[in-house]
Amino acid sequence: MHELGYATELVSTLEEYAKENNLTLISSVTLTVGEATGVIPHFMRECWPAAIEDSPVLKDSELKIDYKLVHGRCHKCENEFIVTEYGGKCPKCGCEDYDMLNGYEFEISEILAK
């Protein structure tokens, strides 16, 4: 389960951010996670309490995850579609050749502090 490693690194990043910005408590963190990262939101949320237990600045913080499905653009007909929903084939023309438009996101999109 690599989510624990991600959670631990996220905590380090947030603690540094809090220090740089003179924050004493972060109440909520929103993370944008793309499907292609392989990070499973349920497991990430499950790891969160263990990752923050020794962090005074994050102790009771809530982790929110904005999960982004992989979208692709067909090389043949330029149709945009959700890749996993159609098994990697364009639903319009059946072509399997496409560019991924997103899905590799792993970023902090919002921090709420008290």
- List the chain domain ranges: 3-69+102-113
**Encoded tokens for 9:** 């690194």
What is the model's pTM? 0.85
The pLDDT tens digits of the residues spanning 78-91 come to 999 999 999 999 99
Q: Which CATH number fits domain 3-69+102-113: 3.40.50.300, 3.40.228.10, 3.40.50.10890, 3.30.2320.50?
A: 3.30.2320.50
The pLDDT tens digits of the residues spanning 22-66 come to 999 999 999 999 999 999 999 999 999 999 999 999 999 999 999
